[in-house]
Structure 1
Amino acid sequence: MSNPMHEVLKHWKAAFDGHQPDIMADLFTPDTLFQGFGPVVLSGRDAVRGYYEAVPGDRSADVTILHTYTIGEQVVGGFADVTFRDTAGWEAAVHMSLVLVRDGSSWRIRQYHVSRVTTEH
């Protein structure tokens, strides 16, 4: 089985860069767990949609997949480095971890977590 992480993150990046919160939400399972920049863990597609609706429309993401793994035929995971940017020069580097589950012939994000990369300890 080839790892679907590359395809899912390609769609995630296109939807993020295009500021398409409905498409973003559809990439996630209905019961997804989501930890973005905020301090609260979100649950469910509606929460994910709301999160991405609040992201300014001029932001984009550069994604580099670092590692992928499989757990049987129904679950895959991986890690990526992502740099978010906007047109005014704001930039935030994060480590991203994902767990994907098979949903029929598609793959959806079941668990999403980002943590900011800083030089502070």
Structure 2
Amino acid sequence: MTSTTEDEAILRGVLDRWKAGVDGHEPRQVAAVFTEDAIFQGLRPYSVGRQGVADYYASQPLGLRAAYRILETRRPAPGLVLGYLSVDFSFSDRPTLTVRLSVLVTRAEDGWYIGHYQVSRLD
């Protein structure tokens, strides 16, 4: 299994919405990109569901911005796309934090949503 243009397009569609919410400090907009029962692991203890995602991003500092690069994609089953990314989170008052992000996006009747989100620090 390898990356495909179609899988990358699916991921970009979801991740561009995520990025817009992060960059705009719009926690509810970020949470809307996730499934109702999404497993979310940022850099703090995990949560399940959109409310946990909204709470996490509401606690982030103003000026936080995300820049992502897709490193790998896989299609483990129909209606699922796995993405492995490098993400630079930049801040207005401290150095940029580069992390690795794994997302599993799932197809719903009205589009694609993140069902699993796992961040790993590089240090």
* Superposed pair shares fold, TM > 0.5: yes
Deviation string 1:68-121 (CA, Å, 9 cap, x unpaired) is 111333111110000111112332110000001111130000000001111xxx
Tell me whether 1:75 sits opposite 2:49 in the alignment. Answer: no
| One of 70, 77, 82 as aligned partner of 1:65 | 70
Alpha-carbon RMSD across the aligned residues, in angstroms, is 1.3
Moved over 2 A (4+): none
Within 1, Cα distance between the matches of 2:94 and 2:43? Answer: 18
The DSSP-based 3-state class of the residue aligned with 1:109 is strand
* Residue of structure 1 equivalent to 2:120: 115
* Residue of structure 2 equivalent to 1:36: 42
Deviation string 1:9-61 (CA, Å, 9 cap, x unpaired) is 111111111111111000000100010011x1211111111111101111111
Within 2, Cα distance between the matches of 1:95 and 1:52? Answer: 17
| One of 33, 46, 52 as aligned partner of 2:51 | 46
Structure 2 alignment gaps of length 5 or more: none
Within 2, Cα distance between the matches of 1:42 and 1:98? Answer: 15
Within 1, Cα distance between the matches of 2:113 and 2:92? Answer: 30
Within 1, Cα distance between the matches of 2:33 and 2:114? Answer: 6
The DSSP-based 3-state class of the residue aligned with 2:6 is coil
The number of equivalent residue pairs is: 117
Within 1, Cα distance between the matches of 2:91 and 2:63? Answer: 5
Tell me whether 1:15 sits opposite 2:26 in the alignment. Answer: no
Normalising by structure 2, report the TM-score. 0.90
The percentage of counterpart residues that share the same residue type is 33
Within 1, Cα distance between the matches of 2:73 and 2:120? Answer: 18
The DSSP-based 3-state class of the residue aligned with 1:2 is helix
Within 1, Cα distance between the matches of 2:117 and 2:69? Answer: 16
Structure 1 alignment gaps of length 5 or more: none
Corresponding letter in the other structure for 1:18: G
